[in-house]
Amino acid sequence: MPSTLFVHDPEFYAVVKDIELSEVVPDPDYFNYLLRAVAYQQVSGTVGEGMHGQFLELFPSKKPTPQEVLDMSFDTFREAGLSGQKSTYMQNIARFWIENKVTNEMLSGMLNVDLIAFLTQIKGVGRWTAEMLMIYGMARKDVFPIEDIIIQQGFAEIFGMQDLHLKELKRQMVLRSDKWEPHRSCAARLIWTWKMKQLEDSSNS
């Protein structure tokens, strides 16, 4: 992890210094990464992985094109365990890709704020989904997803803010994350990993 991340926040360093993170390898297929993110929405990682895997099995290439997704029937989506809502969201993404002639180069050239505004025009793609694409699909270094529930919980516990209302907690997350610029993606991953370890330890005790 970048040493400069902790220059202005030794308190944070003391908590996460022993966590090891693997390098993020960008996914060159942004369209399919967004489909994956939809599969993972509001379910556990294990369930999301299962649904996404079954969805990809419907395509010989395992990399569906926007037109292939748009041409699918809802019965076919259901074969992968996807709800009607998630099926609609995936087709919304496919339609948006086709109508706007979206390319990786187009998305890569956008600033974070512009990319979020562009993608959240799609019904079913919220800020969190766009930020997951930026962090894990595009390997952008300075994204802090304050809408992520695990990161909210981890942040609150690390900095003793469990009693704050959600709106104020998010405000504090934004303020604190200014200290971690331009490595906020790394900070987010550290908090997420720390919290998941707490949950794992709790379930094993």
In the three-class reduction of DSSP (H, G, I as helix; E, B as strand; rest coil), residue 149 is classed as helix
Q: Structurally, how many domains does the chain consist of?
A: 2
Q: pTM for this one?
A: 0.89
Residues 120 and 39 in one domain: yes
Q: Give yes or no for residue 202 having a pLDDT over 90.
A: no
Q: Give yes or no for residue 180 having a pLDDT over 90.
A: yes
Query: Cα–Cα–Cα angle for 147, 129, 125, nearest 5°?
Result: 110
Q: Is residue 8 part of a domain?
A: yes
Which one has a higher pLDDT value, 60 or 189?
189
- Domain hosting residue 162, numbered range: 3-22+145-200
Q: Give yes or no for residue 146 having a pLDDT over 80.
A: yes
Residues 125 and 151 in one domain: no
Q: What is the mean pLDDT of residues 93-120?
A: 97
Q: What is the mean pLDDT of residues 20-39?
A: 92
Q: What is the mean pLDDT of residues 111-129?
A: 96
The per-residue pLDDT for 205 is 64
Residues 131 and 151 in one domain: no
Q: Is residue 87 part of a domain?
A: yes
Give the whole-angstrom CA distance, residue 191 versus residue 19.
10
* DSSP letter for each residue of 29-85: -HHHHHHHHHHHTTS-HHHHHHHHHHHHTTSTTSS--HHHHHH--HHHHHHTT--HH
Q: In the block, which residue shows the tokens 């694409």?
A: 133
Residues 122 and 184 in one domain: no
Q: What is the mean pLDDT of residues 36-52?
A: 84
The per-residue pLDDT for 79 is 84
Q: What is the mean pLDDT of residues 39-45?
A: 79
Of 137, 162, 177, the residue that ends a domain is 137
Q: In the block, which residue shows the tokens 């991340």?
A: 5
Q: Give yes or no for residue 99 having a pLDDT over 80.
A: yes
Of 119, 137, 155, the residue that ends a domain is 137
Token pair for 65? 């094109």
Residues 164 and 125 in one domain: no
Q: What is the mean pLDDT of residues 178-189?
A: 96
Proportion of the chain above pLDDT 90, given as a percent? 75
Residues 39 and 86 in one domain: yes
Q: What stretch of H or E contains 116? A: helix 112-119
Give the whole-angstrom CA distance, residue 18 versus residue 187.
13
Q: Across all residues in the chain, what is the average pLDDT? A: 93
Contact assessment for residue 134 and residue 140, using Cβ atoms and an 8 Å cutoff: yes
Which one has a higher pLDDT value, 95 or 4?
95
